[in-house]
A and B are shown apart, each in its own frame.
Chain A
């Protein structure tokens, strides 16, 4: 898988390159500023991107804007956005740029190499991966429709789905069987009125409902 990487801190960039290359990714372009990123994203050979939100020249949210722009130009282009802090506002903007193939994580999650690489793979495969901190904030607002219809357990499962975990991982986290997780997920789909279709697509739709996009 050929990636575009944007990160302005040289040390972190080198670390990410090493980490991703050692786990089977190819870094097509590694850039450190917004204009170079926009140019790199035009490369038709790029298959996905890992971006820092804050980039020179203005050090605000160029990375996020570039991610939204590239997904407008190339719908469904997988983007994993990394940041020193997470904002629900930004999570929503990313999710609104097209269903699936999007990730939004705190930079420190990179420390857990296996989980981070797994997250990038899931995003590249069309999944949605949200930082637990974003998920926790949404968890706090349980009063709202249609999430109100879910049981606490189902909300927990939905939260873990939003973090991009597989059924097996959710089962492991909650100490229940895969079958029980599948049952919860089906119940969530029903309660959120999600039409029957491809399972991955419904997962993404459920997460979007969760974030009220």
Chain B
């Protein structure tokens, strides 16, 4: 889900190329058979440890062979077949093996090895023989394509996830992101409670005390003391209002409600110490929760630029293409930003994940740093903004 490559569709291979594929598949059937045997032997021996090093070699080799077939089948069928292996677990050889064993694709590969050395081998053999035998040239001319499509369809069936497995994966992702979203909102509520408790609430208590003491001062006819206390009360009120204002900004910035993402991001950029240009081509407004998540994501990126980048200039681009809302935040600073380094960026990732959104960072040493935030969503109808506002 995090990596989607959108390459232009390649033209389908011609008859000769298809026959070359068949030839390659014939050749690869031999290692496929060997790998299958080794996988089975290694699997059995892994129980008594000896098999572990064997599997450490045969499983990557199996994946390589399978990937070759994925590529060929993808070309023949016209749609690429993704390599949907789970990321290899870090740690020792046993941890790696356990990770592979838990990956359903490993088992699909194993099953495919059997099919590839039997039915697959037979299909490829027929495809090649039809050409080699010369007299069957006409059959080859008409038959090569259906045969190779059948072979490729079989490979695809084994080597990519079925409908149920896709749904299972989706459920798993949703369960994880839902748990994170719940955690996030609970943490936000705790933060709000603390902000209010330590800020406005404490000041209102002080205010009430000052006024009570002023009341007493009036009673004891000490107007100077009373005046001083009322003055205190007023400055405490101002501070309490200031606290409430910053809490409100943290919940939902008023300018975001007024002007949408483009206007609110422009306002953020203006508050930066360095010049940040904003370019927004959003034709409408995203749903409010998405808008808010992106706003705080961009605010985090800008805060990082201000704190760590040492940049002289920054820029932000907002666009909506092919159903994806994209915010690109860049700076000309020293680069080397690590999204896993702080809690801020991870928080943004989690928040975006709740909307199937992603965050990616490109930050080579020496800069520039470019952070891309993407969330799939639809925009509502456009809303007018005042024409006189300089961007």
| B386 with A85: CB separation less than 8 A | no
Q: List 13 A-B contacts (CB under 8 A).
A: A60-B257, A65-B386, A85-B248, A87-B267, A88-B267, A88-B270, A89-B267, A93-B388, A96-B390, A108-B237, A141-B272, A141-B275, A143-B273
Of the candidate stretches B123-131, B155-163, B258-266, B337-345, the one touching chain A is: B258-266
Query: Which of A54, A87, A88, A108 counts the most chain B CB atoms within 10 A?
Result: A87
Known pairs A61-B258, A84-B254, A111-B237; A96 contacts B389 (CB<8 A): yes
A89 interface neighbour in B238, B248, B263, Cβ under 8 Å: B263
Instruction: State the Cβ distance, A92 to closest chain B Cβ, in Å.
Output: 6
**Cβ–Cβ < 8 Å partners of B242 in chain A:** 108
Chain B interface size, under 10 / 10 to 19 / 20 to 34 / 35 or more = 20 to 34
B interface footprint on A74-97 (CB within 8 Å = 1, 0 otherwise) = 000000000011011110110011
Within the assembled complex, what's the spacing in Å between the Cα atoms of A88 and B267? 7
Residues of B within 8 A of A137 (CB): 270-271
Q: Is A148 an interface residue (CB 8 A)?
A: no
Residue pairs across A and B with CB atoms within 8 Å: the count is 62
Contact A61 B388 (CB under 8 A): no
Nearest residue (CB) in A for B234 is: A111
Q: Mark B237-264, 1 if CB is under 8 A from A, else 0.
A: 1100110010011000011011100010
Q: Confirm or deny: A188 has a beta carbon within 8 angstroms of a beta carbon on chain B.
A: no
Query: Within the assembled complex, what's the spacing in Å between the Cα atoms of A141 and B270?
Result: 9
Closest to A112 in B: B234
Are B255's CB and A87's CB within 8 A? yes
Chain A, interface residues (CB within 8 Å), range: 20 to 34
- Which 3 A-B pairs have CB atoms at the shortest separation, nearest pair first? A89-B267, A60-B258, A88-B270
Knowing that A88-B271, A96-B388, A140-B273 touch, tell me 12 more A-B residue pairs with CB under 8 angstroms.
A54-B254, A61-B258, A68-B388, A88-B270, A89-B255, A89-B266, A92-B389, A93-B389, A108-B241, A108-B242, A141-B274, A143-B273
The smallest beta-carbon distance between A125 and chain B, in angstroms, is 23
Give the docked Cα–Cα distance between A72 and B249 (Å): 31
Chain A residues in 8 Å Cβ range of B238: 108, 111
Task: Please name the residue on chain B nearest to A213 by beta carbon.
Answer: B390
Which chain B residues (336-391) contact chain A, with CB distance < 8 Å?
386, 388-390
What residues of B have a CB within 8 angstroms of the CB of A93 in the complex? 386, 388-390
CB distance from A26 to the nearest CB of B (A): 28
Check A193 for interface membership: any CB of B closer than 8 A. no
CB <8 Å contact, A144 and B254? no
Give bound CA distance, A94 to B249, whole Å. 22
Contact A89 B389 (CB under 8 A): yes
Distance in angstroms between the alpha carbons of A60 and B108 in the assembled complex: 57
Residues in A whose Cβ lies below 8 Å from that of B258: 60-61
